[in-house]
Amino acid sequence: MAGRSSWKISGNMSKTENHMSGFDGDPGFAEIFAALGDPTRLAIFDRLSDGQARSIASLSNDADMTRQAVTKHLRVLEMAGLVESHRIGRESRYAFCPDRLALARAWLDHVAGRWDSALMRLKSFAEQGSD
């Protein structure tokens, strides 16, 4: 069908390669990358990545946005597990959650390793063909 792509797992891959330990099921990588794919959310996330929890008021002043806009972006980041909120009195403070980012990075490292391996096989094949 036009406009649709289908992904097929190679029969040569082991079960370990297909389901790397720790990546079974749906860990929500698409949700993480979608949340970080927005420049405004990425800027808010970057601001929180120093480890200091911040209020919506503080983040809205820093970003020159309304509190409602910041809240909307924080909810997306929270749903992706990238930030968490804690209620202190009447105020919510948002903090960076490194675990989900570490999981996404590990997955990207895994994918990069697979590409490195595939490129090495291609290089070897091309060098054998030129002899």
pLDDT digits (tens, 9 = 90+) for 33-75: 999 999 999 999 999 999 999 999 999 987 778 999 999 999 9
User: What is the predicted pLDDT for the residue at 109?
Assistant: 87
The answer, yes or no, to whether residue 27 has pLDDT greater than 80, is no
The CATH number that applies at residue 61 is: 1.10.10.10
Give kind and range of the element (H or E) at residue 79.
Answer: helix 67-79
Residue 22 has a CB neighbour count (10 Å cut-off) of: 10
| Closest residue by Cα to residue 59 from 49, 71, 76, 77 | 71
Q: Does 66 map to a domain? A: yes
Q: Does 56 map to a domain? A: yes
**Domain assignment of residue 44, given as a range:** 27-129
**Average pLDDT, rounded, for the chain:** 79
Q: Does 123 map to a domain? A: yes
Q: Does 17 map to a domain? A: no
Our count of domains for the chain comes to 1
Q: Does 12 map to a domain? A: no
DSSP 3-state assignment of 88? strand
Half-sphere exposure of 59 (CA within 13 A, CB side): 29
